[in-house]
């Protein structure tokens, strides 16, 4: 039996992405994790606790670091230097690297990993990812035979907002077209969309990997926030033996978006009732589980609240 663990889209360096605790960044100070990052780290520790002790192949399927966040002037980074991001990612991955026989790094989106993946290449050197035929540590596309199954791994895939499994069906179709034959046991693995989906046709399995990044402001403001909020974060393990694949899901809920409350009753009436209502709301807030909230100490929510206060202060 061969055990493969596939992880994607960690986006280390983003204030919405997972980040190791106790890492001293290029500012010279320890990077302080916000509430969302603490939640991601808790999920990470839970996953580490249930993973097998021996991983034959660790697949890192791109966007492991976040890069420079240039479109937002680096505003949403907790560490601005992509090389330091790569070192932080290596620190985070260390418990997995120690138990993995082979490490393969797939090249992520150029916006995040640098021109020709130069920053992810640096990460590949640090974690000693397997070198491709061109000597590089990041691979644009991996075809790999494992115990009677052909793995087909790449970062990008197309994206369907409504029918989440449709891009994976197309990927299987493209593979069958390319080979012009039924390929036997075949497993397609993709990242990039940050949405988990698993498709099993009986002969072929296709996996869209979840990410380790919470919905950021870019996802909230492009297209539609309700469409782009992922349901899960996590990873997928594949137990492969004699041409058979068993998929193991390590999934954790993406936190619910923050709901703010506006207290009414300021135009008059019984002030006693108003304060009682306010007290009830405060009690309700206290009952909510903090790990389940995106904006708990999160940058996007704080920014929105600040803007709102300024709007009210304007003449
Ligand atoms: Fe990504
Ligand atoms: Fe990507």
Instruction: Determine the average pLDDT of the residues in 107-119.
Output: 91
Percent of the chain with pLDDT over 90: 64
CA gap 9, 96 in Å, rounded: 16
What pLDDT does residue 287 have?
37
CATH C-level class of 2-253: alpha beta
Place of tokens 């976040």: 66
Write the CB contacts of 70 (distance below 8 Å, at least 6 apart in sequence). Answer: 111
Report whether 167 contacts 208 (CB < 8 A): yes
Kindly give the distance from the C-alpha atom of residue 139 to the centroid of ligand 1, in angstroms, as a whole number.
16
152 has pLDDT over 90: yes
More reliable by pLDDT, 144 or 281: 144
More reliable by pLDDT, 143 or 185: 143
What pLDDT does residue 307 have?
40
Task: Tell me, yes or no, if the pTM score tops 0.85.
Answer: no
Most confident of 50-64, 179-193, 205-219, 226-240: 50-64
Kindly give the distance from the C-alpha atom of residue 163 to the centroid of ligand 1, in angstroms, as a whole number.
20
275 has pLDDT over 60: no
**pLDDT tens readout for residues 41-84:** 999 999 999 999 999 999 999 999 999 999 889 999 999 999 99
What pLDDT does residue 268 have?
55
Confidence of residue 183 (pLDDT cuts 50, 70, 90): low
Instruction: Find the ligand nearest to 155 CA.
Output: 2
Instruction: Find the ligand nearest to 16 CA.
Output: 1
90 has pLDDT over 50: yes
Kindly give the distance from the C-alpha atom of residue 241 to the centroid of ligand 2, in angstroms, as a whole number.
30
Integer CA distances (angstroms), 8 to 35, 60, 72, 212, 289, in order: 21, 6, 23, 7, 27
Phi, psi of 237 (to 5 degrees): -105, 145
Mean pLDDT (the chain) is 85
Kindly give the distance from the C-alpha atom of residue 195 to the centroid of ligand 2, in angstroms, as a whole number.
12
**pLDDT tens readout for residues 241-262:** 999 999 999 999 999 998 999 9
Report whether 152 contacts 83 (CB < 8 A): no
Kindly give the distance from the C-alpha atom of residue 212 to the centroid of ligand 2, in angstroms, as a whole number.
12
Kindly give the distance from the C-alpha atom of residue 63 to the centroid of ligand 1, in angstroms, as a whole number.
5
Instruction: Find the ligand nearest to 109 CA.
Output: 2
Here the tokens at position 158 are 């197309």
Report whether 89 contacts 64 (CB < 8 A): yes
Closest CA to 250 of 272, 233, 270: 233
Kindly give the distance from the C-alpha atom of residue 252 to the centroid of ligand 1, in angstroms, as a whole number.
17
Confidence of residue 171 (pLDDT cuts 50, 70, 90): confident
What pLDDT does residue 267 have?
63
- Domain extent listing, the chain: 2-253, 271-313
Write the CB contacts of 118 (distance below 8 Å, at least 6 apart in sequence). Answer: none
């Amino acid at each position: 039996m061969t055990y493969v663990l596939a992880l994607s889209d960690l986006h280390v360096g983003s204030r919405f992405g997972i980040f190791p605790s106790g890492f001293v960044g290029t500012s010279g100070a320890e990077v302080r994790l916000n509430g969302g990052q603490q939640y991601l780290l808790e999920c990470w520790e839970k996953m580490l606790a249930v993973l097998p002790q021996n991983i034959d192949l660790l697949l890192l399927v791109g966007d492991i670091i976040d890069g420079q966040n240039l479109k937002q002037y680096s505003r949403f980074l907790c560490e601005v230097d992509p090389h330091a991001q790569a070192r932080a990612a290596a620190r985070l991955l260390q418990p997995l690297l120690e138990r993995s026989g082979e490490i393969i790094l797939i090249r992520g989106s150029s916006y995040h990993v640098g021109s020709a993946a130069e920053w992810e290449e640096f990460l590949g050197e640090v974690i000693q990812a397997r070198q491709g035929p061109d000597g590089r540590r990041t691979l644009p596309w991996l075809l790999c035979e494992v115990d009677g199954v052909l793995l087909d791994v790449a970062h990008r895939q197309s994206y369907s907002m409504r029918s989440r499994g449709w891009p994976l069906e197309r990927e299987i179709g493209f593979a069958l077209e390319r080979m012009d034959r039924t390929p036997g046991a075949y497993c397609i693995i993709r990242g990039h969309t940050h949405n988990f989906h698993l498709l099993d046709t009986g002969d072929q399995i296709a996996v869209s990997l979840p990410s380790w990044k919470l919905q950021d402001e870019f996802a909230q403001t492009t297209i539609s926030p309700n469409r782009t909020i992922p349901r899960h974060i996590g990873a997928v393990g594949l137990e492969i033996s004699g041409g058979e694949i068993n998929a193991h899901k390590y999934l954790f809920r993406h936190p619910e978006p923050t709901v703010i409350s506006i207290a009414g009753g300021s135009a008059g009436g019984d002030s006693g009732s108003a304060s009682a209502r306010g007290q009830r709301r405060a009690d309700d807030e206290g009952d909510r589980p903090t790990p389940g909230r995106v904006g708990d100490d999160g940058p996007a929510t704080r920014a929105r609240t600040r803007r709102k206060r300024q709007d009210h202060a304007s003449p």
